[in-house]
Amino acid sequence: MTAFVLAEWRRLISARLWRWGVLAAICSGAFTALLALIGPENFDPPLPGLHTTEGTRVVLGLLGLLAFVPALLGTSAVAAEYRHRTITTTVLYAPRRWTPLVAKIVTFTAAGLAYGAITAAVAAAGLFTAAAAKGVTLGLPAGEVLGLLARIAVTMGVYTLLGVGFGALLRNQVAALVVLGSYFYVVETALMLVPGVNTLYPYLPGGATAALTGFTYLADAVAAQTGGAAGALLPAPLGGAVLVGYAALAALAAVAVSLRRDIT
């Protein structure tokens, strides 16, 4: 297993994907700095400024919406092997069919956490710099800001694991990316509009992410448009546990399915 994990790291480093991943992480963190410079009070509709607790949480919470990016990278990394048929050679050298996939899960979970750490570091630097440049005191203490960014970084790692499991299950790279993107940006939002069904939102990946990152803006906005009440999110620890549960379920399903079907 150690040899396969090292081989996956070498594969990752030798490909261009990690460069795109680092660039995406930096851009994601810079997105927070840009929002802070613009100021939530200049959004449409206007929101409380950075000097308020709500304003700071909104700017940081919007970063959680970009957790979809590492999920895409994880999906693409695994599905591309099936698309280009390189998975066949990998499995031929494996003593057991599940070994390469578990190695991928371990490798890309670590890569996802690294992605999240880079994103959080850039976001923290950008947020504090923007606040200093505008002469604004953030509505949250520095410790709470860093703690929230740490939770967002962990979320990025979990989403990468989700992407790896999904890519191994669906295999078709283009279809996997389309389905994953459609779910996170269309299906979950649509479900929030359906009376009765919207009560399930806190238990979906998006709702669990919102609970973990403390980002309620999307749920509140949908509730305001529909005239209903925003669904109560889970406590942050429980939201994190639900999100990890989804990732673990995807990983286990991917391993189980890989043992029962042909590679090609």
Task: State residue 261's pLDDT score.
Answer: 63
Average confidence (pLDDT) over 150-178: 84
Of the pLDDT bands very low, low, confident and very high (cuts 50, 70, 90), residue 6 is confident
Instruction: Domain of residue 208: give its range.
Output: 2-260
CA–CA distance, 178 with 183 (Å, rounded to integer): 9
Running DSSP on this structure, what letter comes out for residue 234?
A: P
Look at residue 259 and tell me whether its pLDDT is greater than 90: no
Q: Are 26 and 122 in contact (CB under 8 A)?
A: yes
Residue type, 199: T
Look at residue 117 and tell me whether its pLDDT is greater than 90: yes
CA–CA distance, 202 with 116 (Å, rounded to integer): 23
- Is 70 exposed, middle or buried (CB count within 10 Å of its CB: 0-12, 13-18, 19+)? buried
Task: State residue 222's pLDDT score.
Answer: 67
243: CB partners within 8 A, 6+ apart: 155, 158, 205, 208, 209, 212
Using CA atoms in the order 124, 126, 128, 131, what is the torsion angle rounded to 10 degrees?
A: -140
pLDDT digits (tens, 9 = 90+) for 36-87: 898 888 887 787 888 888 888 888 888 877 888 888 888 887 777 777 677 6
Mean pLDDT, rounded, of the chain:
82
Of the pLDDT bands very low, low, confident and very high (cuts 50, 70, 90), residue 262 is low
DSSP structure string for 208-250: HHHHHHT--HHHHHHHHHHTSPPPPPPPHHHHHHHHHHHHHHH
CA–CA distance, 26 with 234 (Å, rounded to integer): 30
Number of domains in the chain: 1
Look-up: residue for tokens 């669904």?
231
CA–CA distance, 104 with 12 (Å, rounded to integer): 10
Q: Give the residue with greater pLDDT, 182 vs 7.
A: 182
Task: State residue 229's pLDDT score.
Answer: 55
**Main-chain dihedrals φ then ψ at residue 140, nearest 5 degrees:** -120, 145
CA–CA distance, 203 with 42 (Å, rounded to integer): 32
pLDDT digits (tens, 9 = 90+) for 171-220: 777 787 788 878 877 888 787 777 777 778 888 888 888 888 877 766 66
